[in-house]
Chain A
Amino acid sequence: EAEVAQSPRYKITEKSQAVAFWCDPISGHATLYWYRQILGQGPELLVQFQDESVVDDSQLPKDRFSAERLKGVDSTLKIQPAELGDSAMYLCASSPRLAGSTDTQYFGPGTRLTVL
């Protein structure tokens, strides 16, 4: 069964350093999402791509976060510089069709980020 791949699974960094997370969605899925999940809370959408275009990045802290999906396939989320409050699980998800449809979202295993 196809799965969303993410790496690394765990990342420990010091504040002010740069970190990057990678996601490979299920093959053929047009829509890709990056979520942040703080312990004890639900996932919060950071950015949503339709193919290579950003559909929604209204909750992305653009002064330090950036995301790209250059060829409309895999994606990278970057934080520079990292802050203590960025410690969280970063989840990638994909869905087959257009943003706004009722398609199920398929989540990857996440990257657990700890900022010291």
Chain B
Amino acid sequence: SQKIEQNSEALNIQEGKTATLTCNYTNYSPAYLQWYRQDPGRGPVFLLLIRENEKEKRKERLKVTFDTTLKQSLFHITASQPADSATYLCALDGATNKLIFGTGTLLAVQP
């Protein structure tokens, strides 16, 4: 069956450290993968998109990698801040050109 799996438990890290979030998928062949941030009671906000032919994409303190062999994307936040605390969702294009979202990982950055 098709699955998108993200860290099910909350990730707690200290301010200033690098947060690494994982997105694994099964039985999909996505052309691209997106990462969104969602704060409580709000809609998701787009962060980064990475295509299947790209290994890495960066934006300020954010970095995303995409390994189509491992069927995995890693999302890194360097020099994390308490304001980075949120739920982070990965999403990939499903077979019918629609976004399929993972369950999200809750990140808590402690001051």
The chain A residues found within 8 Å of chain B, CB to CB, are 4, 40-45, 48, 56, 58, 91, 93, 99-100, 102, 104-110, 112
Give 18 CB contacts A-B under 8 Å. Answer: A40-B103, A41-B103, A41-B104, A42-B101, A43-B89, A43-B101, A48-B98, A99-B97, A99-B98, A102-B32, A102-B49, A102-B51, A104-B34, A105-B46, A105-B99, A106-B46, A109-B42, A109-B43
Complex CA–CA separation, A104 to B50 (angstroms): 12
Complex CA–CA separation, A42 to B43 (angstroms): 11
Q: Is A110 in contact with B43, judged by CB distance below 8 angstroms?
A: yes
Q: Output the nearest chain B residue to A112 by Cβ-Cβ distance.
A: B41
Complex CA–CA separation, A58 to B49 (angstroms): 25
Report the number of A-B residue pairs with Cβ-Cβ less than 8 Å: 52
The chain B residues found within 8 Å of chain A, CB to CB, are 4, 31-32, 34, 41-46, 49, 51, 89, 91, 93, 96-104
Q: Is B101 in contact with A100, judged by CB distance below 8 angstroms?
A: no
| CB-CB under 8 A for A91 and B43, given A42-B104, A102-B32 | yes
Enumerate the 5 nearest inter-chain pairs by beta-carbon distance, A residue then B residue, closest first.
Answer: A107-B43, A42-B101, A100-B97, A104-B46, A43-B101
Complex CA–CA separation, A107 to B96 (angstroms): 20
Complex CA–CA separation, A106 to B36 (angstroms): 10
Complex CA–CA separation, A106 to B34 (angstroms): 13
Complex CA–CA separation, A80 to B75 (angstroms): 40
Q: Is B89 in contact with A42, judged by CB distance below 8 angstroms?
A: yes
A107 is contacted by which of B44, B49, B97 (Cβ under 8 Å)? B44
Q: Output the nearest chain B residue to A48 by Cβ-Cβ distance.
A: B98
A99 CB contacts on chain B under 8 angstroms:
97-98
A40 CB contacts on chain B under 8 angstroms:
103
Q: Is B44 in contact with A43, judged by CB distance below 8 angstroms?
A: yes
B102 CB contacts on chain A under 8 angstroms:
42
Q: Output the nearest chain B residue to A45 by Cβ-Cβ distance.
A: B98
Complex CA–CA separation, A112 to B41 (angstroms): 8
A4 CB contacts on chain B under 8 angstroms:
43
Q: Output the nearest chain A residue to B46 by Cβ-Cβ distance.
A: A104
